[in-house]
């Protein structure tokens, strides 16, 4: 009897509990109004700050530097980000649309305030991720081997206007142009690429090598060249020039060709006639260098050279054209002067050097019939990025 009563009690209690649940579900239409945990829109793209209520419509405004963006269109090329420096509001979801406009694989990586790496995208591909960062300044880069070392880095300014002082300094008006400016060298670029200084007065330019390769600073029209800088070195040059626009570049072989150039604007009242006067030496100088480099090949046009040398840089061959003798053993020395891995490959002749790390050298021997052959680097994406050349055998 007691067992029966116990069973009846359990059954009644169960029925009562179920009825209570059904009543609660049926009579409370607001029961689904919960506070869910926010989930990132894209898998793998973390919220890098504690979940915070994004600011109101003021998120895209700035307190007075550059515009702070809540949507960033970021482009990767070989080997750089465009834009490389940008500002966003703090503690706010910011959407980054990244498109690979280069030929190599690229991604987006950062360590602070919390490690994050986007997916790797191939040439023509794109990805989207979100960032939510506390106030501060953070560096980001491409984590593909050698790309960060080649200068593929950028800066995110969060909740501030770090770019304002640099802009004010470099874009000084004509009546108050700067007499002291600074420029950094990285791989393979100057930061910034544009400088403005005062005319007809001593202006000092401080150059700091923040890359891993050797670099210098050269203004051909003004006959100005800094010392060759090892990583971490600094040098200062003094320029006193007439108003005008001058190009500067790095004289290390292949660096100018890889885009390591910039513009120096000299500003003051007065005519800029000296600029055009100085243009002739530049044209003459620039043309003299290729001519000198081509002399050995031209001098052996009757039979071609039996030895030749070619350097690999990022991302190019220097020189891009070789001329060698036909039907005889010819030794070609290949030296990697870049920071990425490279090799030398002639598909029609089944010739491939070893894969060279930075600073390494290899030699290949070619014995072939007269003709014109294409050579290239076989590292994925390098040929597509234009790392090709022409071999003439005669």
Position 7 scores a pLDDT of: 53
User: Is residue 304 included in any domain, yes or no?
Assistant: yes
Residues 291 and 179 placed together within one structural domain of the fold = yes
Residues 278 and 326 placed together within one structural domain of the fold = no
What's the mean pLDDT in 162-166?
39
Residues 323 and 377 placed together within one structural domain of the fold = yes
User: Is residue 8 included in any domain, yes or no?
Assistant: no
User: Is residue 27 included in any domain, yes or no?
Assistant: no
The 10s digit of each residue's pLDDT in 221-268 is: 999 999 999 989 999 999 999 998 999 999 988 788 877 889 999 997
pTM for the model:
0.42
User: Is residue 230 included in any domain, yes or no?
Assistant: yes
Most confident region among 78-82, 275-279, 310-314 by mean pLDDT: 310-314
User: Is residue 289 included in any domain, yes or no?
Assistant: yes
Most confident region among 46-50, 66-70, 298-302 by mean pLDDT: 66-70
Q: Which CATH number goes with the domain that contains 356? A: 2.60.40.420
Q: Which of 111, 136, 163 is the last residue of a domain?
A: 163
Position 376 scores a pLDDT of: 94
Beta bridge partners of 7: none
Residue 235's domain comprises 171-295
Q: Which of 270, 295, 320 is the last residue of a domain?
A: 295
Nearby residues of 113 by Cβ (< 8 Å), 6 or more positions away? 48, 49, 133, 134, 136, 138
Position 271 scores a pLDDT of: 36
Residues 309 and 206 placed together within one structural domain of the fold = no
User: Is residue 247 included in any domain, yes or no?
Assistant: yes
Our count of domains for the chain comes to 3
Residues 308 and 353 placed together within one structural domain of the fold = yes
Position 303 scores a pLDDT of: 54
Position 72 scores a pLDDT of: 93
Of 205, 199, 197, 196, residue with least CA distance to 242: 199
Is pLDDT of 87 > 80?
A: yes
pLDDT above 70 as % of the chain: 69
The 10s digit of each residue's pLDDT in 325-351 is: 999 999 999 999 888 889 999 999 999
Q: Which of 268, 295, 322 is the last residue of a domain?
A: 295
The 10s digit of each residue's pLDDT in 204-215 is: 999 999 877 889
Residues 282 and 178 placed together within one structural domain of the fold = yes
User: Is residue 51 included in any domain, yes or no?
Assistant: no
Is pLDDT of 162 > 50?
A: no
Residues 272 and 176 placed together within one structural domain of the fold = yes
What's the mean pLDDT in 290-295?
34
Is pLDDT of 77 > 80?
A: yes
Residues 62 and 102 placed together within one structural domain of the fold = yes
- Asked if residue 320 lies in contact with residue 387, where contact means CB atoms within 8 angstroms, the answer is no
Position 67 scores a pLDDT of: 66
Residues 186 and 286 placed together within one structural domain of the fold = yes
Residues 62 and 146 placed together within one structural domain of the fold = yes
Residues 311 and 269 placed together within one structural domain of the fold = no
What's the mean pLDDT in 65-92?
85
What's the mean pLDDT in 284-306?
41
Residues 314 and 268 placed together within one structural domain of the fold = no
User: Is residue 26 included in any domain, yes or no?
Assistant: no
Nearby residues of 346 by Cβ (< 8 Å), 6 or more positions away? 352, 366, 373, 374, 375, 391
What integer best gives the mean pLDDT of the chain? 75
């Amino acid at each position: 009897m007691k067992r029966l009563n116990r069973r009846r009690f359990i059954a009644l209690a169960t029925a009562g509990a179920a009825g209570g649940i059904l009543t609660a579900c049926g009579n409370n239409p607001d029961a689904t109004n919960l506070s869910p945990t926010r989930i990132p829109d894209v898998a793998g793209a973390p919220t890098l700050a504690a979940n915070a209520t994004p600011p109101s419509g003021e998120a895209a405004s700035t307190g007075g530097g550059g515009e702070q963006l809540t949507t960033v269109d970021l482009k990767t090329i070989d080997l750089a980000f465009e834009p490389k420096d940008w500002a966003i509001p703090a503690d706010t979801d910011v959407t980054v649309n990244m498109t690979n406009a280069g030929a190599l694989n690229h991604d987006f990586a950062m360590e602070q305030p919390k490690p994050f790496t986007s997916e790797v995208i191939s040439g023509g591909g794109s990805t989207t991720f979100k960032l939510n960062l506390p106030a501060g300044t953070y560096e980001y880069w491409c984590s593909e081997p050698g790309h960060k070392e080649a200068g593929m880095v950028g800066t995110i300014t969060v909740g501030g206007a770090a770019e304002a002082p640099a802009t004010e300094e470099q874009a000084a008006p004509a009546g108050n142009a700067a007499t002291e400016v600074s420029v950094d060298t990285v791989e393979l670029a100057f930061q910034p690429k544009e400088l403005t200084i005062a005319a007809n007065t001593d202006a000092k330019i401080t150059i700091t090598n923040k890359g891993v390769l050797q670099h210098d600073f050269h203004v051909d029209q003004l006959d100005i060249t800094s010392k060759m800088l090892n990583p971490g070195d600094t040098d200062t040059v003094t320029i006193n020039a007439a108003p005008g626009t001058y190009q500067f570049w790095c004289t290390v072989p292949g660096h100018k060709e890889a885009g390591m150039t910039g513009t120096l604007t000299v500003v003051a009242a007065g005519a800029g006639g000296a600029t055009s006067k100085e243009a002739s030496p530049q044209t003459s100088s620039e043309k003299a260098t290729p001519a000198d480099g081509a002399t050995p090949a031209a001098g052996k046009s009757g039979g071609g050279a039996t030895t030749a040398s070619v350097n690999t840089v990022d991302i190019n061959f220097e020189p891009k054209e070789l001329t060698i003798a036909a039907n005889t053993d010819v030794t070609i020395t290949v030296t990697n002067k870049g920071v990425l891995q490279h090799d030398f490959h002639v598909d029609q002749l089944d010739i491939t050097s070893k894969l060279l790390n930075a600073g390494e050298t290899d030699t290949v021997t070619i014995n072939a019939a007269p003709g014109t052959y294409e050579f290239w680097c076989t590292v994925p994406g390098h040929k597509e990025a234009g790392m090709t050349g022409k071999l003439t055998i005669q």
